[in-house]
Structure 1
């Protein structure tokens, strides 16, 4: 809604000389003109500012402005006129056109900037309102009766009525209920939509109606006793998308849970709580435990699909009873805060992939680092890394293993192998050359130790 002339005059400190009863008209722009007839350059609803330096006859001037639909006239004094001409005041008063006096100290550009700022603020509020409305529509879509809830919410947002119809034109839902009668007069519009029209808009003196298809699953009509603004059309289009999804979703709860799990993994804990609270679902309090299971079944805790597994989040005290409800395998994370779900999901999935019954991540971690790594990837990497040793001499691999196991102590490693330490030194020099690794580097030693202990292909 554009700012009113009343608001602009109050903000700029302008004195109203005529037309006080029309100060609530919206002002959509400010036009500065010294032309005797500026109307060819106006669209209507402007506040025209002038000093009157080129105008000799005021009544025709006022008549032209009124016919063009301007919101008001501002007259600047102190330049060509010391005061506002009496003829101008009288003509404006007779025509009911607001006339304001602009003091010499108030530049026209200041008024233009003020109006521009107000228009920008109004536009920002409209856009913000549209985003908020879309949020309310989205939350309505997440309720059990998604399509009907979206229709009810849309009617409230636009101050009108909404009717949902199936592809045959039969009413599915109407809000308010008496709006069902409106569907009877829209059958020709349904035919146009079936033939490929994207939407149909009907404008009348008493009512405006928009009819849109819902992705082959029917139609919806929305009407109001006022014109639809561009922002209102944006809200209607958002509702159309949500209604289409709501009508085709037998999987809406699953999609909702998946979206919430993604929020939790991304660290958006409070947003996830807020989304679920709108549909009457709560997340457990800290500390929580995450389970990775193969089935979704009837689960009495928050759960969501995650790749090829189902993730279950429960409060730690609920774990014993919940764990027993699933067939093996089950991966179980360490307890922790809900804000740390990303780590807990990773732990649960790793424990699940170990395939050892109902396995806690703590037990898996206690069995060594290799149990936390992808065995196939480690084996493939080890075969490539250690291949130069196997291609040269069969004893280089075992000599390297003994050397690393003894933490680089020559005598202990040589004794374990039953060879002279000089022999071992030669073998390790050869191994280092073949592998391209510095065996005195702790990082290289760790890498080689993991490769040597990786399971070999059968």
Structure 2
């Protein structure tokens, strides 16, 4: 039974466009050329191997043509030299398959009018494409046309290689960082490119034609399947001439020692196959990264953590699955874990202080065996995302981390968000930690039992402090207390202090008098004046509560106006 079927026939212009990309024409490309299409080619066997590249065309009437081949040739014959015996035919096919000939094309005009069944069986057994021509074809013209295409593709490949070298030279000269270099590699190659360290943690992933989830799911296991001492160079002989391999990898060095490696992943089914230019891109990427590591002193692991944290806090991932795949590839547990965000505010600090604290906290977490991402989220603010096993108490971990932060930077303020069970929800924990930080004035006393602040610490004063920039809060304080403040300024009185003592004493006039160091009659007189100026009833619990809020708001606004140094 034959696999006879007509070949696809794209126009010659389409074939030329394919070879103009720098790739050698395939068997399918060659069969579609008018010079061969005129012979009415039929694919008898090997239809799934028509994507093999054609390196050369070889016309032969020898019984042992394989001795003159190097692989990748399209073999043209009239069929005259084929042996008469079955063993000879099988040997003829075996020799062509062993040298990896691209395909065997036999003209059914002179000796045969249909291909011998033994030839068909032999080609099918070895996966060698067998194509028959029903009409006479000028083999010399075929070689001229195909060879011109091949030479053109080789010239274009050289031009592409030159452009690759120029692009990476430009990146190196302007001091591009690792992320930009890997991004350029993905764009130039059309393949996903991943930078990993020696621990098989994926630090940078630039997907092309796929998602981060598809690229990084099961990353460590997949990466460890390719030993570091195996350099997976492009080699068509590995892949039956299809031009694809599992991965292309290249080592990345730092100060003469291997630091990690790059991996270029296979493209989706409709994407570009690996070719020699992809290996060039990978090699130049590795060289550019070596230079980038020397120029940019920040360790890439820290940069990877920092970028992952910023994307989690800002919910900038394409999907929750992408977030989980990325963090898993960085070594953070994403299954059966609880997450909690911590922010360390440094106040006024330099970039070096933030980087030093980042490194110090990372070391502290490693010493306790705590899985976490650590990174500077903004100048003067370092973020930590803890990943804790269910049942493990979080307070001792945060307390130790807070103590370490304050020991390294005494002015540091540590705030904590609530626990979340889904990594994607960690943005909520970061928002809560940020709100606690916004509600924590400089110099705010610490709770008696810990050195960090959490949501439960936010009372009225700290809530209003967090809202101090809101003009509605400022306007409320002005409307309720403005006349009283103006009176004190014009007459040199201190009725505002008397009101404070009265409100703090929950309306007890005797306690207010004792606190103010005045008599009860003086307090009575001042309170009546306050009621007249503010048009209020101080015996009303509701109005006392309103005035207490206004007075607290005035305190925090004055705190802001004084630069945070007092009221």
User: Is the TM value for this pair above 0.5?
Assistant: no
- Name the TM tier (shorter chain): 0.3 to 0.5
TM-score by length of 1: 0.42
